[in-house]
Amino acid sequence: MELLYVWLTLVFNYRYLDIYEFLSMIDKPIELLNFSANNFKDFDIKETLKKRFLSSELKNKAHEILKKCQKEEIKILTKDDKDYPSSLKTLPSKPLIIFLKGNLCVQDEYSIAIVGARKYTDYGRIATSKIASDLACSNITIVSGMARGIDSFAHTAALNNNGRTIAILGSGVNVVYPAENKKLYENIINNGAVISEFMPDTTPLPPYFPMRNRIISGIALGTLVIEAGINSGSMITASFAAEQGKNIFAVPGNIFSPQSEGTNNLIKDGAKIVTSSKDILEEIYGELSIIKKDIPSICLSGTEKTIFENITYEPINVETLSKKLNLPFNEVNSTLTLLELKGYINNIPGGNFIRDEKYI
């Protein structure tokens, strides 16, 4: 199906809604690869599209793309693959195929998109680094677009805290843009994934960035906007998130700063104000709980892992854990709150904690 989906994407030039409408008329889509002009007589499609279907050039190009992916170790996921992000499968305009460098894992189902201004302020930089770092330490994957400014700070904060991060590109997955992010690009591949719906070697063009923004919001549980002009790409991402029924978060900013005009407007329109990672974790608690019912894997590290490993089906309180592990009371208490929010443990009467039954 990889050849078919690459070819169809080229034929329709990424017009996915038209592709799905056309495929609904076909009993065996794979047979399209062998269609002749005679096969298209009964289809009500424009002559220009029919010519693209019958073009040997596009079919040869599809073959070349698959060869290139194999040569450059670019992974391919079709919409029918089990590893294709489940959150994207619900999008009406989901790509038939995505190209990937790096790896996706179960933890990436717990992801938050962080987007913002390329021309940032120190306030935006500090807020991004703090919130992204805290989310990464809570095993939340950070999704962004690897652009200059807020995007880059979000990715970097996740990497600096041994967290996972995903970059969604507005170019081919093997094209680094901006060029100065080459090292960041390589680090993301080693600690997450770089994803694109565009064919390898595709150069970044203005129309591609709004397209990729729907993937940024679509792949995550929610979108956090940190500094954004009123007509910025970040606001487009927030609009996509709203259409997709996803959570929208915004960091409030200086009312006199143009970089905060977009975020402050989002808050006026109902986005949740975020002043710390806890605001996000509390809001997505329901989504995380639903996911964990189906995925009882354990994705913990550091203090969270240490404390979780010392909680069993026998009740234990904060003070006992603090003494046993020789950790500060406040640190143990806050970590227990996070573990409870994530669904790993339960708080029972008497100020005690036990491991959730699915992890016993």
Whether residue 63 is predicted with pLDDT greater than 90 in this model: the reply is: yes
Residues 177 and 221 in one domain: yes
Share of the chain above pLDDT 90, in %: 70
Residue 305: CATH number of its domain: 1.10.10.10
Residues 278 and 137 in one domain: yes
Residues 141 and 266 in one domain: yes
Residues 269 and 160 in one domain: yes
Of the residues 71, 87, 115, the one at which a domain ends? 71
Q: Is the dihedral of CA 171, 174, 180, 184 positive or negative?
A: positive
Averaged pLDDT for residues 184-193: 95
Averaged pLDDT for residues 124-142: 93
The amino acid occupying position 146 is M
Averaged pLDDT for residues 200-220: 96
Does residue 162 form part of some domain? yes
Does residue 100 form part of some domain? no
Does residue 295 form part of some domain? no
* 342-351 confidence digits (pLDDT tens): 788 989 888 8
Q: Residue 298's pLDDT is what?
A: 61
Residue 316's domain spans which residues?
300-359
- Bridging pattern class, strands 272-273 and 247-250: parallel
Domains contained in the chain, number: 3
- Label residues 212-238 b or e (16+ Cβ within 10 Å = b): bbbbbbbbbbbbbbbbbbeebbbbbbb
Whether residue 8 is predicted with pLDDT greater than 80 in this model: the reply is: yes
Share of the chain above pLDDT 70, in %: 94
* 84-106 confidence digits (pLDDT tens): 999 999 999 999 999 999 999 88
41 versus 122: the higher-pLDDT residue is 122
d(CA 265, CA 189): 34
d(CA 20, CA 277): 38
Instruction: State the DSSP H helix or E strand holding residue 114, giving kind and residue range, or none if neither.
Output: strand 111-116
d(CA 275, CA 246): 19
- 78's tokens: 């079709």
* 285-342 confidence digits (pLDDT tens): 654 444 443 444 566 667 888 899 899 888 999 999 999 999 999 899 989 988 888 7
User: Residue 227 region, left (φ>0) first, then alpha (ψ -120 to 50), else beta?
Assistant: left
Residues 255 and 309 in one domain: no
Q: Give which of 199, 244, 241 is closest to 99, Cα–Cα.
A: 199
Does residue 138 form part of some domain? yes
Averaged pLDDT for residues 262-282: 93
Q: Which residue has the tokens 């998130």?
A: 241
* 66-79 confidence digits (pLDDT tens): 999 999 999 999 99
Residues 277 and 158 in one domain: yes
Looking at the whole model, is its pTM more than 0.85?
no
d(CA 5, CA 317): 55
Q: Residue 285's pLDDT is what?
A: 62
- Say if residue 178 is preceded by a cis peptide, omega within 30 of 0: yes
